[in-house]
């Protein structure tokens, strides 16, 4: 019964589109780290530009934390239109993030944390959780968003699992963003870092944990 339910969701329009967009998203981000030729699609960036993009990404993600939190608050107060606007805005901001993150890593390079061991290990733990949540939240965020865009308010309340999926998506997404901003602060403002240019970084892509925050 459970398997049949999963198959039904995957074959419905929102489910099928979720699978397609998830694959595209994974391929785009994975290509930056795992396919050296993928970097040729992006212009070469200076260290100064990489730093500027890192700051801009952190600012975008901080705003996204605010819009997600507002969206959660508004739906708990039954303000559906405000909730929908906040969540749609959050998704647009994530697209803006990707538009900066991909060229930053592919055309610029990667920063590595330099600091005392306790801070370094705390950084790695937070970054690991952040990366895992970033990966697993993609399909649930997309599915919740697509359900919201393709169903009426009545259907969302009674006929599709938008509320349940949305709670999971928002929780994972928010925690990932918060940890991403914290690791950004540690890497760029609290402690020091080293920098590896894009070509060299691609050769060591299998070592994911020391990478600059994904969000």
Segments making up each domain of the chain, as ranges: 14-21+44-203
How high is the mean pLDDT of the chain? 84
The answer on pLDDT for 11 being more than 50 is: no
7-21, 68-82, 127-141, 159-173: segment of lowest average pLDDT: 7-21
57-105 tens-digit pLDDT: 999 999 999 999 999 999 999 999 999 999 999 999 999 999 999 888 8
Q: Which among 213, 198, 12, 4 has a CA at the least distance from the CA of 103?
A: 198
Percent of the chain's residues with pLDDT above 70: 86
Scored b (16 or more CB within 10 A) or e, 143-178 reads bbbbbbeeeeeeebeeebebeebbebbbebbbebbb
CATH of domain 14-21+44-203: 1.20.120
200 confidence band (pLDDT: 50, 70, 90): low
> Measured between alpha carbons, how far is 34 from 14 in angstroms, rounded to an integer?
29
Predicted local confidence at residue 72, as pLDDT: 95
Strands (E), 77-191: 109-114
Q: Where are the beta strands (DSSP E) in 12-123?
A: 109-114
pTM of the model: 0.82
Per residue, the 3-state secondary structure of 112-144, as one string, reads: EEECCHHHHHHHHHHHHHHHHHHHHHHHHHHHH
Contacting residues for 22 by C-beta, under 8 A, at least 6 apart: 138, 139, 142
Specify the DSSP element, H or E, that contains 107: helix 80-107
Can you read off the two tokens belonging to residue 63?
């705003």
Instruction: Decide if pLDDT at 199 tops 80.
Output: no
| pLDDT > 60? residue 203 | no
């Amino acid at each position: 019964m459970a398997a049949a339910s999963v198959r039904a969701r995957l074959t419905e329009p929102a489910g099928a589109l979720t699978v397609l967009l998830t694959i595209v998203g994974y391929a785009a981000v994975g290509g930056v780290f795992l396919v050296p030729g993928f970097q040729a699609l992006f212009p070469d960036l200076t260290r100064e530009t990489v730093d500027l993009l890192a700051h801009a990404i952190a600012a975008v993600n901080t705003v996204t934390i605010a819009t997600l939190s507002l969206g959660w608050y508004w739906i708990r107060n039954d303000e559906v239109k405000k909730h929908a606007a906040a969540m749609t805005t959050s998704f647009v901001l994530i697209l803006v993030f990707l538009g900066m993150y991909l060229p930053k890593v592919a055309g610029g390079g990667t920063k590595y944390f330099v600091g005392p061991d306790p801070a370094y290990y705390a950084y790695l733990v937070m970054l690991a959780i952040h990366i895992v949540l970033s990966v697993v939240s993609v399909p649930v965020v997309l599915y919740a968003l697509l359900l919201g865009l393709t169903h009426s308010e009545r259907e969302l309340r009674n006929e599709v699992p938008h509320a349940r999926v949305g709670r999971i998506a928002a929780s994972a997404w928010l925690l990932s963003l918060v940890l991403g901003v914290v690791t950004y602060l540690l890497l760029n403002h609290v402690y020091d870092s080293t920098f590896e240019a894009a070509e060299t970084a691609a050769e060591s892509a299998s070592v994911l944990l020391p990478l600059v925050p994904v969000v």
